Structure 1
């Protein structure tokens, strides 16, 4: 957890630093390196970190799922489902799947207002379906773990969907090169990153209590 928080802190400093310089000089042609550090770009250091963090969470969920299957415990399918969801989120972060989906959706419904970034429509619907289908699972968890899951999930969704909706309206009205939009997507990405850190912390705590020490072996034939 300290390593992840330290990485986020360094990435945030680099991101905010380049934003300050960008708005002081106000010459986009002088900022080719912005694509390497900015939270709003894909395929750069922040997005690689986020993809890895989500993949790490997926691995932890797979370990927990395996344990529940071996013990034939209730809700073992839910743990496996969570592992698949976080694997998809990791791939999405790295391969920009949501942007492709957004382009398809924008051909069907108008991409305007809070839905200027049209991918939030199918992802928002998927989030609602997920929350409804996982309610019983959530209330089956120990109280502390349940609270950690709710806070981490709420923080992640606040950034991924809530602030994305607000930022979309600002982007449509004034473009993506404003201080307000930069502030919004900075807070948005930090919420997502911190939500994943808290989720990983909750998972490692559960593994420590239920499984103790374990090893992961990878065999290459």
Structure 2
């Protein structure tokens, strides 16, 4: 049986990606390295359609799968919070798709016109407003699930979510203040790298907690796939 511990590999790959992106930024500022092609573009965490964006989406996909595993466990035990676990899985899947395709940017233009926002304003990346509203509504709905978890898991999810959304929303607002035409200033590169580091760290913390909940459940989740369906079953460990 092939047994791969994916979490250490994801942490290692995250560190390597962040270090290479940082080197690319320094090389661009000090030695005029080009970051629009080659290796430096692939590890640019603020770019789209490259390895770095795929990797960030992959971590969120792993979180989605782990949350789905917790949904299966909850349903097998008739847990009253099984539906909320399903909502967590669905939200993480939406975040995964958004990370890969940047759907949230579609809300930016309309919100800028509505708020009369210009470059240099804190709400230049105006998509954070509807995103924050969704986050508040989802958080309120998921509170009963959060309080039903063990204290360690609860604190871990709060920490991971706080770190992730602190980068995705709070630091995004700050980056709106330092952005310049062409998005090529040292300050903007530094703040966006910090934002992406927070998102990577937050998603890895959440993944660690979700996998830990499954591990402590003392059960094995098995998948059986056919041409048309995927069936998940839970087996208690001896």
The alignment's TM-score, normalised by the length of structure 2, stands at 0.85
Match of 1:62 in 2: 68
What are the within-5 Å matches in structure 2 for residues 21-100 of structure 1?
21-26=27-32, 31-33=36-38, 34-100=40-106
Q: Aligned to 2:136, which of 99, 111, 128?
A: 128
Match of 2:215 in 1: 208
Question: Distance in 2 between the 1:191 and 1:219 partners?
Answer: 39
1:204: Cα distance to partner?
0.9
Match of 1:157 in 2: 165
Q: Aligned to 2:110, which of 92, 99, 104?
A: 104
1:31: Cα distance to partner?
4.3
Structure with the bigger percentage of strand: 2
Match of 2:235 in 1: none
Secondary structure of the 1:216 match is: strand
Q: Which runs of 4+ in 1 moved over 4 A?
A: none
Residues 7-38 of structure 1: CA deviation (Å, up to 9, x unaligned): 1011112111111111113375x743343221
Structure 2 gap ranges (5+): 1-6, 229-238
Match of 1:219 in 2: 226
Question: Distance in 2 between the 1:212 and 1:72 partners?
Answer: 15
The alignment's TM-score, normalised by the length of structure 1, stands at 0.91
Secondary structure of the 1:134 match is: helix
Question: Distance in 2 between the 1:193 and 1:128 partners?
Answer: 21
Question: Distance in 2 between the 1:136 and 1:217 partners?
Answer: 31
Structure with the bigger percentage of helix: 1
Match of 1:170 in 2: 178
Structure 1 gap ranges (5+): none
Contact 2:57–2:96 at 8 Å: present in 1 too? Answer: yes
Q: How many residue pairs are counted as aligned between the two chains? A: 219
Question: Distance in 1 between the 2:211 and 2:33 partners?
Answer: 45
Further displaced range: 194-203 or 131-140: 131-140
Question: Distance in 1 between the 2:207 and 2:224 partners?
Answer: 20
C-alpha RMSD over aligned residues: 1.8
Question: Distance in 2 between the 1:132 and 1:46 partners?
Answer: 32
